[in-house]
Amino acid sequence: MATKFLFYFLFLWCVPLIVFASSCSPDSATVVYINGIETTQKEASDDMALLRKDFLQYRGSPNITFLNGYNPSHLGGLGDAIESISQAINSPISNYDLFTIIAQLASQVLTRKVLLVGHSQGGFYANEIYDYLVKSGTPANSIGVYELATPADHVAGNGSYLTSSNDTVINFVRGSQADLRLPQALPANVTILEQASDASNTWSGHIPSVYLNGAAARIAADIKRALGALSADGAGSDSCIAAPQLGSIYALQKSAFAVADPLASNIDAAIRSTATAISEANTIGNDVIHTAFSDAFFAVIPRPTAQNAAGVFAVEKALYGSSLSVADYEALIAGKEIPENIDPPPTPQSKTVQPATPIASPIQAQQQNNQNENPAPATQLPQSQTQSILPIPVPVPITVSPGFGGGAPAPMRTVQSQGSWTAPTAEDSGPPTSTTSQPSAATTTLPFAVTSPLDQSMFSTSTIAFTGTTTPLATISASFGTTTVSTRADADGSWSMLLELLAGTTTVSFGAADTAGDTTATTTRSIVVALAQSTTTMTVATTTATSTTVATNEPAIDNPCGQSPLATSGYFFSGVKDDPEYPSGLLEYHFRINSAYADGRAFKITWQYFDDQCEQSAPENSSTLQVQLPTGVTDWSVRFSSPTHFEIWDDQHNAIALDENGSPIEEDIPALSSYESIKISGTIGGSASTLDSRVVKINGAGEPPSFPDTAIIRSGCTSGYASGVLFDPAYQKSEYVGRLLRIHLRLRSPYNSGPSFPLQVVALGSDCGTPVPDAPTSTVVVSLPVYIRYYSYRMVTPTHWVLWDDENDIEACAGCEGDIPADTIYVGFSATAELRGDNQMWTPSLYPSL
Amino acid sequence: MHKLWKVLRWTIIFVALVYAAMVIYAYPHVHQERLDREVVAQIEAQKITPDDVAGAHLAPTPDPNAIDATVQGVDANQNGIRDDVELAIFARHPTSSAIRAAELQYAMDLQTQLTQVTDTATWAAAEIQRERGFGCLYDTSRGEYSRFETETDALVINTNLRKERFDWMQQFGTSYKLSFGPDCDVSSQQGYGN
């Protein structure tokens, strides 16, 4: 009796544990979305919802669980910035958010297979969570990682990613990483069209909705592929995700953030308000804030070690303009004296950069430059000052609260309004910089030279190539008359731009600015253009700091979507040529690269399709072609030899360009509707230079079908309308041909990938509301050919209807037809399709059937 | 054997007493969980109806002094949507039942967040409902969901008091799963009421 009692007691005590341990499903999967920096809960939730919408829309399994791993903001965004910088150098300073996310997931994830989807900084966390889980014993084949707009240099678990060449944030990050010689963000592998709202947004093209709206099919396909690669094999019987041990430091950090975050939000609001004012007065306002962030970063980053000295030093050097070398820095860390011999800085003209070569300090470079180029009023410092130059002054004091670091709180550093800083204790974990106050807050003058042409040069052409040197990745501006053009220096500091000048003498003023806000003195060139005939009226205008748009007077047929003409940025694609033509009826689109870089270097092109309403259409291109023109060749083109095939041509030799294996560079594309258009995009060096063509028709004469709209909906009968995204409510044309009704309708892009849907024929009597006695009650499942938008319901006899492909003027599919009773007076066709897990409805207009 | 049983018996009694003490100690938490379950069930059950979309029980214009005096505001017809918000949505979208339905649903979900979230469990339930409302806006207004979301946000979270409440509520934010099934409470398939 006693033994039995004991047995039952212990059994009942343990049952809940047994049940809990077996609740991890090997069959389904979970997608965990991790947001980027400075994202509210609400925004992160919306982005996750959009992600699932995309997934379901493109036939993703509705059984996949979508879960958010919220990555909160700290210290008004400052904490995010600091954490991001430290993650970029693979030395995250805090695991607080990482553990918070994992701890929440541990109680929510109930499937073995987990796909981590990170956006922006969320990509860093996705990588870190993957590493954590694998180290915790989770089989690597059960976890996947997919990243959007990732600043990381890799995707954990060999996962895939999607980064747009129009993502200005990642382009900026990549450029900065290159400048700092840190591992660079993965290169762009898609071009997502800029949104109308991007024009006013400095950091456009980065927010999740741009990706989720602009590349929905690609993202859905990537996620489906990643989920398909996951396996639950090898998993144990324990919980799906091992919860981290949250110790007392975590609890302390939690308490600190609970107090500091709301406080920092208020301070952040004040900073933003001030920054806005600065920005209005000075276009480098953002850089001031970034510098403030960076300075705060060094208040909390752990003391550099010999292992990471080079990386940390690179950050410090670029941010603070230190004239120390890596060797000096390492010596300081080791407690040694700074070596006497300092390598001379490379001249800006040098195009060869060795990884170990120290970056020229602005001062040194300027000193050298002053010997070669126009003297500039540089802010000179004593030669003996070899320690760090202090940062640009920050308009308001910023204090970094302790608690963000993974270990003991770092000492607080205060950035003062005059640009000096003080270290309150000798144990400051910041870099070994001078504590001397910088008396002047003036910006440093950059090295800058216009190497060609010389002043007062004379040309017989109006297109003049200007070249020069400056600090790597600086933005160069050229102004003449009312026109301002800008471009960006490459990683070597070289730059070039083509300007279209009017006949006569034109004085062009050049200047440059780097990301730290340092600027150059103005350099001018007076150029004489003496044309044999009348002058050209072409003008050059600029749209953004790094994007050049050439305004031309091309006929509208080449630009059916009314979008901007060719847009280029950076050094490579700046050879301006934007020439689409249709010699054989199909598109030949001619471009030109900058002749200074016609040295056989490879670039990539991608493309996107658009329908007759300029909506991005299916299929979404996921291919990339690598193009390498022969040395000396600047002119190239994309030429369609058939509606489903194009080639890349070397226009100067009038031959198809060949790849490294000697094979023609060509591509087959799907059979699209004749009215489809295409946009060509090019990139090189990640996105150091980009090209975006206008949207032009593939078939110059291609037009959508056109029909009259003459049938009249009788009074009292409903007028058709649509809900959802598949059926287009804006298009309905009806007519009678031989007294037989035809109702022409249209699908929306990019949802027209051959949808199938049940069709219900509505056959009504004389009052347009009562079905005829023998009206059909069952549905007919019909389908439309892939990529077809225009279709119709056609009465081919008074009692027989057929679904018709209006674009090819054929029956849409086998069996897509039916009958209506002979006594039908009014008829309509009601359709319901399943898309994204929701119904897509077409509620019909009712017309007299005869 | 008898001695062993005696030891075991006292051990079991001791464990049982400890267990009972733990139960008493945990009772407030368990009680709170039960209350949470009730509120969560209430949040999950809250849906707009075709009549709401059709304006069948539209409330009269509320007292201007009362509409922003509290976070709850005035909801005379007790459909979960503040009367001032409901009337504003009808005024802005008099002809589009679909957009009106989506905005009303989203507005109700936001109001639920403002008034019923007290902890992590209720936050998650309310956030799931808000995401359904957002999804409905997305499905209904292709490409313009952001505009309609912003429009409704501004109507519902329109005072400092409500902004503070909305921010305060975010402290309970946690991971949650999106719900399965359609996002719209009322769709064209069901009809938008009379």
**pLDDT tens-digit series, residues A531-552:** 543 333 333 332 233 333 333 3
Is the pLDDT confidence value at A119 over 90? yes
Statement to judge: residues A730 and A683 lie in one domain: no
- The answer to whether the Cβ–Cβ distance between B170 and A40 falls below 8 Å is yes
Q: Is A54 helix (H, G, I), strand (E, B) or coil?
A: helix
Nearest-neighbour CA in chain B from A695: distance (Å): 20
Is the pLDDT confidence value at A215 over 50? yes
> Which phi and psi angles does A142 have, rounded to 5°?
-100, -5
Residue of B127, B139, B147, B190 to mutate when probing chain A, most A C-beta within 10 A: B139
| Residue that is last in its domain, among A681, A697, A713 | A697
Name the residue among B138, B170, B176 with its Cβ closest to that of A68: B176
> Looking at the domain assignment, is residue A507 inside a domain?
no
Is the pLDDT confidence value at A375 over 50? no
Q: What is the pLDDT of residue B37?
A: 86
Residues A515 and A473 sit within 8 Å (Cβ to Cβ): yes
Q: What is the pLDDT of residue A698?
A: 92
Name the residue among A5, A69, A843 with its Cβ closest to that of B175: A69
Q: How confident is the model at residue A197 (pLDDT cuts 50, 70, 90)?
A: low
Statement to judge: residues A210 and A287 lie in one domain: no
> What is the rounded average pLDDT of the residues A666-671?
89
Crossing angle (nearest 10°) for helices B120-140 and A41-57: 50
Best CA proximity match to A84, nearest among A70, A94, A75, A76? A94
> Which phi and psi angles does A586 have, rounded to 5°?
-105, 160
CA–CA separation, A3 and A636 (whole Å):
89
Q: What is the pLDDT of residue A378?
A: 33
Partners of A449 in beta bridges: A469
Lowest mean pLDDT among A109-113, A119-123, A351-355, A811-815: A351-355
Residues of B within 8 A of A68 (CB-CB) are 175-176
Residues of B within 8 A of A832 (CB-CB) are 189
Crossing angle (nearest 10°) for helices A78-88 and A285-300: 70
Residues B113 and B126 sit within 8 Å (Cβ to Cβ): yes
> What is the rounded average pLDDT of the residues A275-299?
40
Q: What is the pLDDT of residue A559?
A: 54
- The answer to whether the Cβ–Cβ distance between B175 and A104 falls below 8 Å is yes
Name the residue in chain B with its Cα closest to that of A105. Answer: B175
Statement to judge: residues A230 and A260 lie in one domain: no
> Looking at the domain assignment, is residue A788 inside a domain?
yes
Residue with the bigger pLDDT between A622 and A163: it is: A163
- The answer to whether the Cβ–Cβ distance between B176 and A748 falls below 8 Å is no
Is the pLDDT confidence value at A93 over 50? yes
Statement to judge: residues A242 and A268 lie in one domain: no
Nearest-neighbour CA in chain A from B60: distance (Å): 30
Residues of B within 8 A of A108 (CB-CB) are 175-177
Taking all residues of chain B, what is their mean pLDDT, rounded to a whole number? 88
What CATH number has the domain bearing residue A756? 2.60.40
- Sheet containing strand A448-452, edge to edge, reads A448-452, A463-470, A494-500
Q: How confident is the model at residue A264 (pLDDT cuts 50, 70, 90)?
A: low
A19-73 residue pLDDT tens: 444 468 888 899 999 998 878 888 999 999 989 888 887 777 888 899 988 888 7
Q: Which of residues 145-164 of B touch A (CB under 8 A)?
A: 146, 149
Q: Max Cα separation, chain A?
A: 117
Residues of A within 8 A of B131 (CB-CB) are 45-46, 48-49
Residue with the bigger pLDDT between B86 and B189: it is: B86
Q: What is the pLDDT of residue B12?
A: 93
Statement to judge: residues A416 and A323 lie in one domain: yes
Q: What is the pLDDT of residue B105?
A: 96
Best CA proximity match to A467, nearest among A484, A447, A450, A486? A450
- Domain interval for residue A607: 552-697
> What is the rounded average pLDDT of the residues A637-656?
90
Q: What is the pLDDT of residue A546?
A: 35
| Residue that is last in its domain, among A697, A732, A755 | A697
Best CA proximity match to A692, nearest among A561, A500, A529, A506? A561
Statement to judge: residues A629 and A740 lie in one domain: no
Q: Which of residues 85-144 of B touch A (CB under 8 A)?
A: 98, 127, 130-131, 134-135, 138-140, 142-143
Residue of A13, A46, A241 to mutate when probing chain B, most B C-beta within 10 A: A46
DSSP string, A636-649: EEEEEEETTEEEEE
> Looking at the domain assignment, is residue A166 inside a domain?
yes
Best CA proximity match to A579, nearest among A703, A696, A699? A696
- The answer to whether the Cβ–Cβ distance between A48 and B135 falls below 8 Å is no
Q: What is the pLDDT of residue A420?
A: 29
How far is Cα of residue A720 from the mean position of the Cα atoms in its chain?
A: 39
Determine the Cα angle at A810 with ends A806 and A816, to 5°: 95
Statement to judge: residues A181 and A263 lie in one domain: no
Residues A145 and A127 sit within 8 Å (Cβ to Cβ): yes
Is the pLDDT confidence value at A385 over 60? no
Statement to judge: residues A218 and A237 lie in one domain: yes
Residues of B within 8 A of A6 (CB-CB) are 8, 12
Q: What is the pLDDT of residue A333?
A: 38
CA–CA separation, A242 and A133 (whole Å):
7
Q: Which residue has the tokens 């952040």?
A: A268
Q: What is the pLDDT of residue A804?
A: 92
> What is the rounded average pLDDT of the residues A241-264?
74
Residues of A within 8 A of B149 (CB-CB) are 46
CA–CA separation, B48 and B101 (whole Å):
8
What CATH number has the domain bearing residue A41? 3.40.50
Is the pLDDT confidence value at A196 over 70? no
Name the residue in chain B with its Cα closest to that of A835. Answer: B139
Q: What is the pLDDT of residue A33?
A: 94
Residue with the bigger pLDDT between B183 and A20: it is: B183
Q: How confident is the model at residue A770 (pLDDT cuts 50, 70, 90)?
A: confident
CA–CA separation, B136 and B187 (whole Å):
9
> What is the rounded average pLDDT of the residues A567-591?
85
CA–CA separation, A301 and A93 (whole Å):
6
Q: What is the pLDDT of residue B158?
A: 94
> Which phi and psi angles does A453 have, rounded to 5°?
-85, 170
Q: What is the pLDDT of residue B72?
A: 94
A319-369 residue pLDDT tens: 333 333 444 434 433 434 333 333 333 333 333 223 333 333 333 333 333
Statement to judge: residues A278 and A396 lie in one domain: yes
> Looking at the domain assignment, is residue A532 inside a domain?
no
> Looking at the domain assignment, is residue A117 inside a domain?
yes
> What is the rounded average pLDDT of the residues A206-215?
82
Statement to judge: residues A229 and A129 lie in one domain: yes
Is the pLDDT confidence value at A178 over 60? yes
Statement to judge: residues A167 and A235 lie in one domain: yes
Is the pLDDT confidence value at B123 over 90? yes
For residue A454, give the amino acid letter.
Answer: L
Q: What is the pLDDT of residue A83?
A: 74
Lowest mean pLDDT among A430-434, A466-470, A515-519, A808-812: A430-434
Statement to judge: residues A57 and A199 lie in one domain: yes
**Helix, strand, coil: what percent of chain B each, to 5?**
65, 0, 35
Crossing angle (nearest 10°) for helices B145-156 and B83-92: 150
The strand ranges marked E within chain B are none
> What is the rounded average pLDDT of the residues B61-80?
92
Count of other CB atoms within 10 angstroms of residue A318: 20
> Which phi and psi angles does A108 have, rounded to 5°?
-110, -35
| Residue that is last in its domain, among A401, A422, A443 | A422
For A488, A510, A595, the CA distances from A501, given in Å and listed in that order, are 20, 15, 18
Taking all residues of chain A, what is their mean pLDDT, rounded to a whole number? 70
Is the pLDDT confidence value at B73 over 80? yes
Best CA proximity match to A838, nearest among A315, A105, A57? A57
CA–CA separation, A603 and A629 (whole Å):
9
Greatest mean pLDDT range, A309-313, A558-562, A668-672: A668-672
Q: Which residue has the tokens 């009694």?
A: B13
Residues of A within 8 A of B97 (CB-CB) are none
Q: What is the pLDDT of residue A329?
A: 39
The share of chain A scoring above pLDDT 70, in percent, equals 66
DSSP A198: G
> Looking at the domain assignment, is residue A439 inside a domain?
no
Q: How many domains does chain A have?
A: 4
Say whether the peptide bond before residue A304 is cis (omega within 30 degrees of 0). no
Q: How confident is the model at residue A733 (pLDDT cuts 50, 70, 90)?
A: confident
> Looking at the domain assignment, is residue A353 inside a domain?
no
Count of other CB atoms within 10 angstroms of residue B21: 10
CB pairs below 8 Å between A and B: how many? 87
Radius of gyration of chain A (CA): 32
- Per-position b or e across A669-681, b if 16+ CB within 10 A of its CB: beebbbbbbbbbb
> Looking at the domain assignment, is residue A443 inside a domain?
no
B139-154 residue pLDDT tens: 887 567 888 999 999 9
